[in-house]
């Protein structure tokens, strides 16, 4: 059992969720309430990481963030280390790879808040900010929670993109999914089985807790 | 605290309307669906922006496209009861009410819930309330905003007839607490006649008539816009006795009326809505007729329509009622203004919800304009 890899994966998933939570609220709300020219294109771009092979996504991110790219050089000048093949780089690619898992359910959640309810909030004297906190977030909560759980679970299992951009540096970029692959390559089936089972248990319990919480929210609303 | 509204727009519904509502006055915006009534409410609330609009309340400018003024909705002291109520489903009744307050005041919220007869239901979620109770919460929430204009958008359309009847009575009773201008949007002429002090008739976004119910009913253009089957007058009456057979005797200026389903102790002042197409006219006082109500009066005037019908305005001791009869019958009876006539009305033709307690009107306040 590679505890370091598991801890790394959980840390990566935690950071990804923490960064994507406000992004999901802003983007999901924007896409749910606004109609603008090119909305379809934006939605397609958000969904793209979902349909691209992880290797393709990983390749482009490697090019985008690599040592010779403007982003990579900027990072290098700022922190004195390269962005790819580091934990920070993994967080960046994980955030991008998880955009559809975070934004799509959040958008559905905000779309579930009827326009009359939002109008009523404004007529109750609520500023946009107060309306978000008191009315929209509580009502869009099931969608937001789904978004965060999907993001968390998907990050734990992400393999292709992580391998392309992070490699398998122990304690830095070797996540549990990569570690399992390594053990299978090294004919250590027993360790691979234990780690796989651990990952299944964590993912399953996360989703079960979400479903239970969603049902509670559902009861609260009806 | 007068509300003055002017709006002109090209689309989606072409609009060209201007009207004023005095403090304490209840104005009904009537017209068919798609005539632009709800759009006008949304313009007042700042939820919709017309090309040209000016909305002022109590001398304060909420919207003025000419001057580039457009106060955001949440800065306007406006209370709205939406057609489907739009209550916050995750909040209890009392939380819905406090949500509309600048500073949550539970005691005040409880007082407002009492005012709309929701005692004991403060902790229920909207989904646990009946349609009528939800409407009351929506009204309480609108009042909690301390609005300078109260807007009611078809607030009775989503409840059953019996509940609607009860809610009408409650709104009428509540009127004495309402010092602000009230605008009621409805397509239901009965509702407008029962509840409103004045009506603005709108057809295809254009103002057809602005006046009292009697003035609207005397205007052929307004009648065309409303639909001729809706023509009716409100006859004031006083409850005098309830008979054992379920009929109630009401005294009117032209004699007694016997109607079913009237509540209220003797002495209660009511208004009875008499539909023009339910009234039969007779020169002689008929004998051996099943109809219980025969009121004697004189013909005030006869208005020809375009179709086979004429509208006869009958003066019953100072109160006019309308009878819609065929042109052929009017010719055969050779009816002329000034003729003595008997208006006959079946007791059963007056629907229960066409009788309302007289509003304790706030008209005393309507004159002290801002």
Q: What is the DSSP string of B277-345?
A: GGEEEESS--SS-S--EEEEEEEEEEEE-SSSEEEEEEEETTEEEEEEEEHHHHHHTT--TT-EEEEEE
CA–CA min distance B195, chain A (Å): 24
CA–CA min distance B370, chain A (Å): 24
ipTM confidence: 0.81
Q: How far apart are CA A213 and CA B14, in angstroms?
A: 48
Q: pLDDT value at position B6? A: 95
DSSP-assigned beta bridge partners for residue B274: B233
pLDDT at B369 over 50: no
* pLDDT tens digits, B33-66: 888 899 999 999 999 999 999 999 999 999 999 9
Of A122, A127, A139, the CB nearest to B90: A139
Task: Say if the Cβ atoms of A122 and B73 lie within 8 Å.
Answer: yes
Task: Say if the Cβ atoms of A117 and B127 lie within 8 Å.
Answer: no
Query: Is the CB of residue B80 less than 8 Å away from at least one CB of chain A?
Result: yes
Q: Look over chain B and give the mean of its residue pLDDT values, rounded to a whole number.
A: 88
CA–CA min distance A47, chain B (Å): 31
DSSP-assigned beta bridge partners for residue B258: B249
* pLDDT tens digits, A13-50: 999 999 999 999 999 999 999 999 999 999 999 999 99
Q: pLDDT value at position B271? A: 85
Question: What residues in B contact A125, CB-CB < 8 Å?
Answer: 74-75, 77, 100, 102, 145
* pLDDT tens digits, A86-95: 999 999 999 9
Arithmetic mean of pLDDT, A58-82: 90
Surface of B (10-49) touching A: CB under 8 A: 45, 47
pTM for the model stands at 0.82
Task: Say if the Cβ atoms of A125 and B87 lie within 8 Å.
Answer: no
Higher pLDDT, B105 or A217: B105
Of B78, B87, B127, the CB nearest to A123: B78
Residue A220: band (very low, low, confident or very high) from pLDDT cuts 50, 70, 90: low
Q: pLDDT value at position B364? A: 34
Question: What residues in A contact B89, CB-CB < 8 Å?
Answer: 117, 139, 221-222
Q: Look over chain A and give the mean of its residue pLDDT values, rounded to a whole number.
A: 91
Tell which residue, A89, A118, A107, has the closest CA to residue A147.
Answer: A107
pLDDT at B368 over 60: no
Of A56-60, B47-51, B293-297, B317-321, least confident by mean pLDDT is B317-321
Residue B362: band (very low, low, confident or very high) from pLDDT cuts 50, 70, 90: very low
For the stretch B57-60, contacts whose Cβ atoms lie closer than 8 Å and that sit 24 or more positions apart, written own/partner, are B57/B1, B57/B2, B57/B3, B57/B4, B57/B148, B57/B149, B57/B181, B58/B1, B58/B2, B58/B148, B58/B370, B59/B370, B60/B148
Structural fold of domain A3-221? MetI-like fold (1.10.3720)
CA–CA min distance B101, chain A (Å): 7
Nearest CA in chain A to B72: A122
* pLDDT tens digits, B277-290: 889 999 998 888 88
Task: Say if the Cβ atoms of A138 and B72 lie within 8 Å.
Answer: no
Query: Is the CB of residue B86 less than 8 Å away from at least one CB of chain A?
Result: yes
CA–CA min distance B170, chain A (Å): 23
Q: How far apart are CA B29 and CA B140, in angstroms?
A: 22
Arithmetic mean of pLDDT, B100-120: 93
Residue B348: band (very low, low, confident or very high) from pLDDT cuts 50, 70, 90: confident
Arithmetic mean of pLDDT, B341-369: 64
Cα distances from A106 to residues A35, A207, B17, in angstroms, run 17, 16, 41
Query: Is the CB of residue A134 less than 8 Å away from at least one CB of chain B?
Result: yes
Query: Is the CB of residue B127 less than 8 Å away from at least one CB of chain A?
Result: yes
pLDDT at A111 over 90: yes
Residue B81: band (very low, low, confident or very high) from pLDDT cuts 50, 70, 90: very high
Query: Is the CB of residue A209 less than 8 Å away from at least one CB of chain B?
Result: no
Query: Is the CB of residue B187 less than 8 Å away from at least one CB of chain A?
Result: no
């Amino acid at each position: 059992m590679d505890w370091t890899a598991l801890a790394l994966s959980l840390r990566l998933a935690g950071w990804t969720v923490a960064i994507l939570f406000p992004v999901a609220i802003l983007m999901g709300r924007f896409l749910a309430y606004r109609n603008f020219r090119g909305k379809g294109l934006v939605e397609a771009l958000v969904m793209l990481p979902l349909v691209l092979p992880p290797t393709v996504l990983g390749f482009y991110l490697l090019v985008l963030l690599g040592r010779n790219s403007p982003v990579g050089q900027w990072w290098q000048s700022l922190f004195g280390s390269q962005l790819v093949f580091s934990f920070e780089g993994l967080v960046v690619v994980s955030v991008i790879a998880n955009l559809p898992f975070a934004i799509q359910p959040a958008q559905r959640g905000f779309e579930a808040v009827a326009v009359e309810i939002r109008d009523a909030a404004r007529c109750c004297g609520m500023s946009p900010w107060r309306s978000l906190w008191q009315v929209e977030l509580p009502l869009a909560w099931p969608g937001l929670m789904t978004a965060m759980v999907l993001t968390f679970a998907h990050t734990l299992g992400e393999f292709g993109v992580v391998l392309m951009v992070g490699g398998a540096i122990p304690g830095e970029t070797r996540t549990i999914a990569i570690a399992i692959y390594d053990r299978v390559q090294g004919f250590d089936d027993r360790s691979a089985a234990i780690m796989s089972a651990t990952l299944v248990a964590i993912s399953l319990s996360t989703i079960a807790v979400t479903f239970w919480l969603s049902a509670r929210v559902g009861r609260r609303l009806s | 605290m007068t509300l003055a509204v002017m709006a002109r727009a090209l689309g989606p519904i072409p609009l060209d309307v201007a009207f004023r509502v005095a403090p304490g006055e209840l104005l009904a915006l009537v017209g068919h669906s798609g005539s632009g009534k709800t759009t006008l409410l949304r313009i007042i609330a700042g939820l919709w922006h017309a090309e040209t609009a000016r909305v002022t309340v109590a001398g304060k400018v909420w919207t003025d496209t000419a001057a580039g003024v457009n106060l955001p909705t949440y800065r306007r002291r406006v209370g709205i009861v939406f057609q489907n109520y739009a209550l916050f489903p995750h909040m209890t009744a009392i939380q819905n009410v406090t949500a509309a307050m600048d500073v949550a005041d539970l005691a005040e919220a409880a007082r407002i819930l009492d005012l709309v007869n929701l005692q004991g239901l403060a902790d229920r979620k909207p989904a646990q309330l009946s349609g009528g109770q939800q409407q009351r919460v929506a009204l309480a929430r609108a009042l909690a905003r301390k609005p300078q204009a109260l807007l009611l958008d078809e607030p009775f359309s989503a409840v059953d007839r019996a509940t609607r009847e009860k809610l009408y009575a409650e709104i009428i009773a509540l009127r004495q607490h309402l010092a602000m201008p009230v605008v009621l949007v409805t397509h239901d002429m009965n509702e407008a006649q029962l509840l409103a002090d004045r009506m603005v008739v709108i057809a295809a976004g254009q103002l057809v008539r602005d006046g009292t119910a009697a003035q609207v009913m005397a205007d052929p253009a307004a009648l065309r816009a409303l639909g001729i089957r809706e023509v009716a007058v409100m006859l004031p009456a006083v409850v005098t006795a309830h008979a054992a057979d379920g009929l109630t005797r009401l005294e009117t200026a032209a004699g007694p009326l016997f109607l079913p389903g009237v509540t209220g102790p003797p002495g209660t002042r009511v208004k009875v809505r008499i539909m023009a197409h339910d009234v039969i006219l007779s020169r002689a006082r008929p004998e051996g007729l099943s109809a219980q109500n025969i009121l004697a009066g004189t013909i005030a005037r006869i208005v020809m329509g375009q179709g086979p019908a004429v509208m006869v305005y009958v003066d019953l001791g100072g109160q006019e009622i309308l009878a819609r009869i065929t042109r052929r019958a009017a010719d055969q009876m050779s009816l002329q203004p000034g003729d003595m006539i008997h208006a006959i009305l079946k007791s059963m033709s007056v629907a229960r919800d066409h009788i309302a307690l007289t509003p304790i009107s706030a008209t005393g306040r309507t004159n002290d304009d801002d």
